Structure 1
Amino acid sequence: MKIGELAKRSGLSAYTIRYYERIGLLPNADRDQSGQRDYDASILTWIEFLDRLKTTGMPIREMLRYAALRERGVDTEAERGALLEQHRERVRAHLAKLQACLL
């Protein structure tokens, strides 16, 4: 799918998609004969995951770390799980702090 369709389906702007590709959060897209990016539909699942990480406040450097581990394959599952668990604990601590402010 072309970048415009991916932007529409993912909710990201074309600029953000190109940025994510440039910094390594998204794999480099294949190119068609005219040089336009051509994405596989399976990238949508990864983009949804990245959006969840971003929404919960994960810094881009940690998202990049996760993406690099993911790229290395199944041998990194434990390390990826630990990274997500650490992030979850930070999110929970932040939520608790916010809730305490509302009392």
Structure 2
Amino acid sequence: MTYSIAQAAERSGLSIDTLRYYERIGLVDPPARDSGGRRVYTDDDLGWLAFLTRMRTTGMPIRMMREYAQLRRRGPATAGRRKQVLLEHRASVRERIAELQASLDVLDYKITHYEQIEHTYVEGITA
């Protein structure tokens, strides 16, 4: 199946401007064009966009995404380096998750503390 740029944007959750930007910086191969010269995206293109979106969500820098995209274009011979890029990024994601978990623990502690204060205050008023 094929999609216009507007349909690809809607399905991917990215803006049309972002799709054009990704194409301009080499994250996305230039899509095929229809007889009117309009971009035509495929299901494979949408799958790649979904992967890129996941990587951005995890905080992967554009620089690293570009390296990965360039390696992907070169085919199976680059599988080892692509795996290494993902392993390195996974390590940084795990570090970030640990940082977020520590922050969440502090939030939980403070919320529990304030709940105890509120409970003590309400009991003091009603006693």
Which category of TM-score, normalised to the shorter sequence, fits these structures?
A: over 0.9
Per the alignment, residue 80 of structure 1 pairs with: 82
Match of 2:56 in 1: 54
Separation in 1, partners of 2:73, 2:31: 15
Q: Name the structure 2 match of 1:39.
A: 41
1: CA distance between counterparts of 2:42 and 2:24?
17
**TM superposition score normalised by structure 2:** 0.77
The answer for unaligned runs of 5 or more in structure 1 is: none
Q: Deviations over 1:39-58 (max 9, x none)?
A: 22211111111011000000
- RMSD across aligned positions (CA): 1.0
Name the % identity: 50
- TM-score when scaled to structure 1? 0.94
Unaligned runs of 5+ in 2: 106-127
- Figure out how many residues of one structure are paired with residues of the other and give that number: 103
- How far apart are 1:37 and its partner, in Å? 0.8
Which letter maps to 2:50?
E
How big is the shift at 1:31? 1.4
Q: In the alignment, which of 1, 7, 10 is matched to residue 9 of structure 2?
A: 7
Deviation at 1:100, TM superposition (A): 2.0
Letter in 1 for 2:43: A
Code of the aligned partner of 1:91: V
Please identify the structure whose Cα radius of gyration is greater.
Answer: 2
Q: Which whole-Å deviations, capped at 9, do the CAs of 1:22-68 have from their partners, x for residues lacking one?
A: 11111001112221111222111111110110000000000000000
